[in-house]
Amino acid sequence: MLTGRNILLGISGGIAAYKTPHLVRLLKKSGADVQVLATESALKFVSELSLSTVSRRPVLTDIFSADAGHESERTMHITLGEWADALVIAPATANTLARLATGLCDDMLSLCFLTLRPGKPVLIAPAMDGHMYDSPSVQRNLSMLAAQGCNILEPESGSLASGQCGLGRMPEPETIFEALTEMLAAPEASALCGKTVIVTAGPTREKIDDVRFLSNYSSGKMGFAIAAEAARRGAKVRLVTGPVNLPTPPGVERIDVESAAGMLAAARPLFDDCDLFIGAAAVADYRPEAPVAGKIKKKDAEMEIRLVRNPDILAGFANGRKPGQVAVGFALETAGGIDYARRKLVDKRLDLVAFNIYDGRTSGFEVDTNALTLLGRDGNVTELPLLSKEKAAAKLLDAVESILPR
């Protein structure tokens, strides 16, 4: 499966490093050439001899080896960045994640990370105590690396070296091997390749006064996952997003807005040139008729705010679109409501609606998973299981590709 592929395997200093000789064996057995890059701490958990034996190459650690006076030794990190087809870092400790995210380069692993040629995949398998993994610092660094295009292989749950049980275990070598082979598999030509896609995401904020607004709980995660997947498939993606705290996906043009009127103003000029419009934003249906300058002072009497309808961005695109343009929307309900999704499909003249339930735990706003039911204009109904939003985005775009004009 990996015959002729050149793999850099970075190993950092976690207890899971003891599993890496088995990973090297799996890669070698599949036909790959493997160069191990180990931190000094990693070699406290796994021997250099075992790694060099199974890889049939010397393990590289320090920037300056004993023979670093030779020109080829001084530039080895550059030649390895050109040589490699992929970089795998397993285990990736909190310290290594921080160094990679901030661009530090004081060993061969971090140097090769920086010199790896653009477009070559990086697979990172974090492994650490669960409390460390959940810390804001580690999550920030993971988000930064993901925004750079790195593929993050989520840790598994189980017994940890600390004696506790929970999230943080490095996936087994077989799982890492399968993830890498999938990344390196030649992708099938996507119908989205070369297409121009508009995705709206996140909430909108409708001003009451200068310090208050009406909004909703949308995190933007679903829309951002769709934008990232569309870009990965070769589309030119323009992401029009309300206020969210998410990194811009690689290869995506991002336009930040605040209100529904602002989202429409940003999206409308893009309508004519797009092939596909996906309305994943949770656009507020109403806005205060007359926002107040300054701050409204509290009074003893009740306060009334008159609301007026916001423009329907998705319907505006769908009703005025040119032949061949495709319109996709979302319909979210707290219970039931699939008939509402069907009406939305017809009333807004959409090609596809993704219906989902908001339960506050596993599906809908803020969470990392979603369960979509895809309703097509042709009457087809596809009910997807609970998936990560990234995988749900991929399934949604699979369905979209089947209805795109060729």
Does 216 qualify as catalytic in the annotation? Answer: yes
Q: Is 312 annotated as a binding residue?
A: yes
**Given 6, 95, 151, 216, the catalytic residue:** 216
First to last CA, the chain: 31
Instruction: Give the H or E element holding residue 328.
Output: strand 326-333
Q: Is 285 annotated as a binding residue?
A: yes
The answer to whether residues 372 and 392 touch, using CB atoms and an 8 Å cutoff, is: yes
Please give the C-alpha separations between residue 378 and each of 105, 182, 279, 399, in angstroms, as whole numbers: 54, 32, 20, 12
Instruction: Give the H or E element holding residue 23.
Output: helix 20-29
The answer to whether residues 153 and 179 touch, using CB atoms and an 8 Å cutoff, is: yes
Q: Is 311 annotated as a binding residue?
A: yes
Exposure of 346 in the CB half-sphere (CA atoms within 13 A)? 6
Tell me whether residue 388 is exposed, middle or buried, using C-beta atoms within 10 angstroms of its C-beta: 0 to 12, 13 to 18, 19 or more. middle
What value does the CA radius of gyration of the chain take, rounded to a whole number of Å? 25
Q: Is 348 annotated as a binding residue?
A: yes
Q: Is 314 annotated as a binding residue?
A: yes
The answer to whether residues 247 and 166 touch, using CB atoms and an 8 Å cutoff, is: no
Buried b (16+ CB within 10 A) or exposed e, 184-196: beeeeebbbeebb
Q: Is 19 annotated as a binding residue?
A: no
The answer to whether residues 330 and 279 touch, using CB atoms and an 8 Å cutoff, is: yes
Tell me whether residue 283 is exposed, middle or buried, using C-beta atoms within 10 angstroms of its C-beta: 0 to 12, 13 to 18, 19 or more. buried
Q: Is 339 annotated as a binding residue?
A: no
Binding-site residues for CTP, in ranges, read 285, 295, 311-314, 330, 344, 348
Residues belonging to the binding site are 285, 295, 311-314, 330, 344, 348
Instruction: Give the catalytic positions in this structure.
Output: 216
